C-alpha cells in the first residue's frame, strides 16, 4: 500500500492542524524540493562573509584536514575579499584552507566534550550561533548585508537560518562548489545522493524543532 499526496492533504484537513494545514504542506514541499537559491543583491555590497564547510578528510595519523571542497570554498572567499576587504567568519576547515592568504579570519571551531575527550559535532546551526555571538560581542551596530559562502546544495539551509536571525544576505549560488569529495570522513558528504538525503533530514529536523518550540 502506498501513501499519496492526497492522503497527506486529507490528514492536513484534520482539526488538529487548525487553519494551518496548507501552510504546513507548503513548508514540507519547500524543505524537500527547493534547492535553488535566488541571487540576492550584489556580493560586493556585503560587509561580512560567513562561510560554512562541507566535510573534512583525515590523514594517516587521524588528523583532520580541510579537504578539497573546503579548499574550494576558501578560494571563493579569498576571491571575494580580494575584490573588497571585509570581515570573515568561517568554520575552522575553511579557515585552515585560507591559511595566511587573508588577515584576521575568525575561525569557528567545535567544542570539546571534556568528560569523553571527544570533539562535539558542530552543526550548521551551531556555527551560526557562534558567529552571531562573536558579532554581538563586537558591539558593531553597523552590520550590513552578509555574503553567504557554502556548497551549492548546502546554501539554501544556510541562507534560511541566517535570514531567520534577522540578517540581510547576499549570495551567488552559481559561484559555489557543486562537487563532492569521495575521501571525506563524513560519509554523507561523499556524493550527491547521500548528501541530498542527509540535507532533507537536516532541514526537517530543524522544522520539527521549530514546531516543538512553538507548542511550548
pLDDT in tens, the chain (216 residues): 455 556 666 766 666 665 677 788 888 999 999 999 988 888 999 999 999 999 999 999 999 999 999 999 999 999 999 999 999 999 999 999 999 999 999 999 988 887 777 778 889 999 999 999 998 888 766 678 999 999 999 999 999 999 999 999 999 999 999 999 999 999 999 999 999 999 999 999 999 999 898 887
In a domain? residue 142? yes
Would you state the pLDDT for residue 92?
A: 96
What CATH number should be reported for the domain holding residue 117? Answer: 3.40.50
CB 184 within 8 A of CB 161: no
In a domain? residue 26? no
Show the CA angle centred on residue 40, arms to residues 142 and 162, nearest 5°. 60
In a domain? residue 16? no
Within its chain, how far is the Cα of 129 from the centroid? 12
In a domain? residue 193? no
In a domain? residue 21? no
In a domain? residue 13? no
Domain that holds residue 126: 43-186
* Those residues with Cβ within 8 angstroms of residue 97's Cβ, 6 or more apart along the chain or in another chain: 66, 70, 71, 73, 74, 75
Q: For residues 53 and 185, give the distance between their C-alpha atoms in angstroms, rounded to a whole number.
A: 13
Q: For residues 98 and 80, give the distance between their C-alpha atoms in angstroms, rounded to a whole number.
A: 12
Q: What DSSP state is assigned to residue 187?
A: G
In a domain? residue 117? yes
Would you state the pLDDT for residue 19?
A: 61
The pairing of beta strand 118-119 with beta strand 112-113 = antiparallel
* pTM of the predicted protein model: 0.90
Query: For the chain, how many residues are written?
Result: 216
The tally of domains found in the chain comes to: 1
- Quickly tell me which residue has 555571538 as its cell: 133
In a domain? residue 90? yes
**Which residue in 207, 208, 188 sits closest to 198, CA to CA?**
188
Amino acid at each position: 500500500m502506498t501513501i499519496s499526496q492526497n492522503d497527506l492533504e486529507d490528514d492536513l484537513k484534520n482539526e488538529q492542524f487548525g487553519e494551518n494545514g496548507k501552510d504546513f504542506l507548503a513548508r514540507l514541499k519547500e524543505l524537500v524540493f527547493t534547492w535553488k537559491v535566488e541571487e540576492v543583491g550584489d556580493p560586493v555590497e556585503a560587509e561580512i562573509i560567513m562561510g560554512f564547510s562541507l566535510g573534512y578528510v583525515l590523514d594517516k595519523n587521524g588528523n583532520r584536514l580541510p579537504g578539497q571542497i573546503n579548499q574550494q570554498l576558501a578560494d571563493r572567499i579569498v576571491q571575494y575579499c580580494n575584490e573588497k576587504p571585509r570581515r570573515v567568519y568561517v568554520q575552522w576547515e575553511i579557515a585552515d584552507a585560507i591559511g595566511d592568504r587573508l588577515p584576521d579570519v575568525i575561525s569557528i571551531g567545535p567544542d570539546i566534550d571534556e568528560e569523553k575527550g571527544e570533539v562535539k559535532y558542530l552543526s550548521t546551526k551551531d556555527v551560526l550561533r557562534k558567529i552571531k555571538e562573536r558579532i554581538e560581542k563586537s558591539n558593531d551596530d553597523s552590520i550590513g548585508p552578509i555574503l553567504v559562502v557554502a556548497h551549492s546544495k548546502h546554501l539554501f539551509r544556510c541562507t534560511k537560518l541566517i535570514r531567520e536571525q534577522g540578517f540581510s544576505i547576499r549570495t551567488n549560488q552559481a559561484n559555489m562548489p557543486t562537487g563532492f569529495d569521495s575521501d571525506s570522513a563524513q560519509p554523507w558528504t561523499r556524493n550527491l545522493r547521500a548528501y541530498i538525503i542527509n540535507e532533507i533530514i537536516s532541514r526537517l529536523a530543524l522544522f520539527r524543532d521549530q514546531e516543538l518550540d512553538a507548542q511550548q
